[in-house]
Chain A
Amino acid sequence: AQSVTQPDIHITVSEGASLELRCNYSYGATPYLFWYVQSPGQGLQLLLKYFSGDTLVQGIKGFEAEFKRSQSSFNLRKPSVHWSDAAEYFCAVRAIYNFNKFYFGSGTKLNVKP
Chain B
Amino acid sequence: EAQVTQNPRYLITVTGKKLTVTCSQNMNHEYMSWYRQDPGLGLRQIYYSMNVEVTDKGDVPEGYKVSRKEKRNFPLILESPSPNQTSLYFCASSSPAVGTNYEQYFGPGTRLTVT
Residues on A facing B (Cβ under 8 Å):
4, 6, 9, 32, 34, 36, 42-46, 49, 51, 90, 92, 94, 99-107
* Chain B residues with CB under 8 A of A6: 42
- CB distance A100 to B48 under 8 Å? yes
CB distance from A41 to the nearest CB of B (A): 8
Binds A, one of B11-19, B21-29, B68-76, B101-109: B101-109
CA separation between A102 and B50, bound complex, in Å? 13
The verdict on B44 contacting chain A, using a C-beta distance below 8 Å, is yes
19 additional contacts (CB under 8 A) given A100-B33, A104-B42, A105-B42: A9-B40, A32-B102, A34-B103, A34-B104, A42-B108, A43-B108, A43-B109, A90-B42, A90-B43, A99-B96, A99-B102, A100-B48, A100-B56, A101-B48, A102-B35, A102-B45, A102-B104, A104-B35, A106-B41
- For chain B, the bracket of interface size reads 20 to 34
Min CB distance B4 to A, Å, is 8
Cross-chain contact B42 with A107 (CB below 8 angstroms): yes
In whole angstroms, how far apart are the Cα atoms of A31 and B109 in the complex?
26
Query: Are B56 and A104 within 8 A (Cβ)?
Result: no
Measured CB to CB, the residues of B under 8 A from A are 31, 33, 35, 40-45, 48, 50, 56, 58, 90, 96, 101-104, 106-109
From A33, which residue of chain B is reached at the shortest CB distance? B101
- Give every chain A residue within 8 A of B96 (Cβ-Cβ): 99
Instruction: Name the residue of chain A whose CB is nearest to the CB of B45.
Output: A102
Residues in chain B near residue A36, CB distance under 8 A? 106
3 closest cross-chain pairs (CB), A and B: A104-B42, A104-B43, A106-B42
